[in-house]
C-alpha cells in the first residue's frame, strides 16, 4: 500500500518521516513521464504504420492499384480498336476499292481535323497528364478513323450495288446454245454472201437451225421489236444501260414486245432467215456508246453445253419467281 512512498529517519526525534518533493519537482517529473509516454506512443505508431500501414491508406492504395489496372485495360482496348480500324483500312486499299475500280482515300482526308497545337491544354496540370493526353489522343484518333471508315464502307456498298447492277445488265452470255458453231465474226468481208459487195460485218453470226431459241444476254429494256428494213428482217434491240445495246437479227419469230423489261436468260425469239440473209442463222451485234464492238469479247466461249443449259435453267427459274 505504501510501496511508492519514501521515508527518511529523523535523528533528532528518532522518527521516520515521509519525503515530500516540492510541487515544481513533482510537476516536472509528471511532464517528463508524459512526454516520454507520448514519444514512445509516436514511435510505436510510426513503426506500425511503416510495417503495416493504416487501414485507410491500405484502402486508398488498393483503389489506386485498381484504377491503374483499369487504365491499362482501357489502353489495351484502345490499341485493339486502332488495330482493327487499320485492318479495315487495309482491306479498303488492297481489296474492295481496287476490285470496284475506286480510288483510295487520301491520307490527308483520313487525318483531317486531327492534331493541333494545345489541343489538350485542358488536361494539363494533373499528376497523370501524359497518360490522360495519350488516351484522349487515341480516342480522338479512333473517332476520326471510324467516321472515315464508315463513309468509305457506305461508298463501297453503293458502288458494289451499282457494280452488280452494271454486271447484271451487261450482255455477258451467248444468245444461243454454245453447242452451235460460230459463223462470220466481227470483220471486213470482201464479198457479202447476199449482196456480193465488200462490206464490214459489225456482229457475230451463229450457225443455228431455223427456230432455235434466242435469249437476252443481259438485263435491259426492249427498244426495238419488229421488222427492220435495213437488212436485219425481224429483229430485237435491247438497251442494257451504261451505253450498251445488243441487237438480234434475222429472227423467224419475236417473243417480246417493245418497252418490256427483260432479264438475262429471257427467251426473246427464235432464229430464222428473214431480211438480207443467205440462210438460217442469228446475227448478234453489240454497240457501246454508239460504237460497234466485237461481241466475242463480251461472253465466255469456253462453256460446255451442260454448263450453258444449267445457266439458262437457273436464269429462267429466277425470272419465273421474281
Q: Could you list the pLDDT tens digit for every one of the 322 residues in the chain?
A: 445 666 666 666 666 666 666 777 777 877 887 788 878 877 777 776 676 666 777 777 787 778 778 878 888 888 898 899 889 888 888 888 888 888 888 888 877 665 555 777 777 777 778 888 888 888 888 888 899 999 999 999 999 898 889 899 999 999 999 999 888 888 777 655 655 567 788 899 999 999 999 999 999 999 999 999 888 999 999 999 999 999 999 999 999 999 999 999 999 999 999 988 888 999 999 999 999 999 999 987 778 889 888 998 888 887 543 4
Name residues whose C-beta falls within 8 Å of residue 289's C-beta, 6 or more positions apart in sequence: 243
State residue 193's pLDDT score: 63
Sign of the C-alpha dihedral computed for residues 20, 21, 22 and 24 taken in this order: negative
Q: Would you tell me the crossing angle of helices 129-169 and 55-91 to the nearest 10 degrees?
A: 30
* Burial zone of 32 (CB within 10 Å; 0-12 exposed, 13-18 middle, 19+ buried): exposed
249 with 265: CB under 8 angstroms?
no
Place of cell 519525503: 19
Residue 101 dihedral angles phi and psi, to the nearest 5° = 60, 45
State residue 261's pLDDT score: 96
State residue 213's pLDDT score: 96
Cα separation, 134 vs 75, whole angstroms: 9
Cα separation, 284 vs 249, whole angstroms: 7
Structural domain boundaries of the chain?
7-51, 58-169, 181-321
Cα separation, 106 vs 158, whole angstroms: 19
285 with 202: CB under 8 angstroms?
yes
253 with 234: CB under 8 angstroms?
yes
DSSP letter, residue 281: B
Q: What is the three-class DSSP state of 251?
A: strand
The continuous run of DSSP H or E covering 99 comes out as: helix 97-99
Q: In CATH, what number does 181-321 get?
A: 2.70.70.10
State residue 115's pLDDT score: 57
Strands (E), 191-298: 199-201, 204-207, 213-215, 220-228, 233-241, 244-254, 261-262, 267-271, 282-288, 291-293
The continuous run of DSSP H or E covering 86 comes out as: helix 55-91
Amino acid at each position: 500500500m505504501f510501496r511508492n512512498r519514501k521515508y527518511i529517519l529523523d535523528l533528532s526525534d528518532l522518527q521516520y518521516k515521509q519525503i515530500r518533493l516540492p510541487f515544481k519537482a513533482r510537476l516536472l517529473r509528471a511532464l517528463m513521464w508524459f512526454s516520454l509516454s507520448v514519444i514512445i506512443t509516436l514511435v510505436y505508431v510510426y513503426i506500425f504504420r511503416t510495417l503495416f500501414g493504416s487501414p485507410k491508406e491500405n484502402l486508398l492504395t488498393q483503389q489506386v492499384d485498381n484504377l491503374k489496372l483499369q487504365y491499362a485495360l482501357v489502353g489495351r482496348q484502345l490499341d485493339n480498336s486502332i488495330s482493327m480500324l487499320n485492318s479495315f483500312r487495309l482491306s479498303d486499299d488492297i481489296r474492295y476499292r481496287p476490285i470496284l475500280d475506286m480510288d483510295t482515300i487520301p491520307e490527308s482526308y483520313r487525318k483531317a481535323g486531327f492534331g493541333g497545337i494545345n489541343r489538350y491544354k485542358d488536361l494539363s496540370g494533373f499528376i497523370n497528364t501524359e497518360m490522360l493526353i495519350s488516351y484522349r489522343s487515341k480516342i480522338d484518333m479512333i473517332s476520326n478513323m471510324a467516321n472515315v471508315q464508315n463513309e468509305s464502307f457506305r461508298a463501297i456498298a453503293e458502288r458494289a450495288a451499282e457494280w452488280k447492277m452494271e454486271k447484271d445488265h451487261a450482255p455477258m452470255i451467248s444468245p444461243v446454245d454454245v453447242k452451235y458453231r460460230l459463223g462470220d465474226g466481227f470483220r471486213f468481208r470482201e464479198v457479202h454472201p447476199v449482196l456480193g459487195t465488200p462490206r464490214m460485218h459489225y456482229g457475230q453470226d451463229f450457225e443455228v437451225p431455223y427456230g432455235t431459241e434466242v435469249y437476252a444476254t443481259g438485263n435491259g429494256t426492249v427498244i426495238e421489236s419488229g421488222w427492220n428494213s435495213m437488212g436485219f428482217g425481224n429483229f430485237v434491240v435491247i438497251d442494257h444501260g451504261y451505253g450498251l445495246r445488243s441487237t438480234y437479227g434475222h429472227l423467224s419469230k419475236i417473243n417480246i414486245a417493245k418497252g418490256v423489261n427483260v432479264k438475262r436468260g429471257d427467251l426473246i425469239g427464235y432464229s430464222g432467215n428473214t431480211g438480207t440473209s443467205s440462210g438460217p442463222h442469228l446475227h448478234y451485234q453489240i454497240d457501246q456508246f454508239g460504237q460497234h464492238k466485237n461481241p466475242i469479247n463480251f461472253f465466255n466461249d469456253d462453256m460446255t453445253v451442260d454448263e450453258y443449259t444449267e445457266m439458262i435453267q437457273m436464269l429462267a427459274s429466277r425470272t419465273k419467281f421474281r
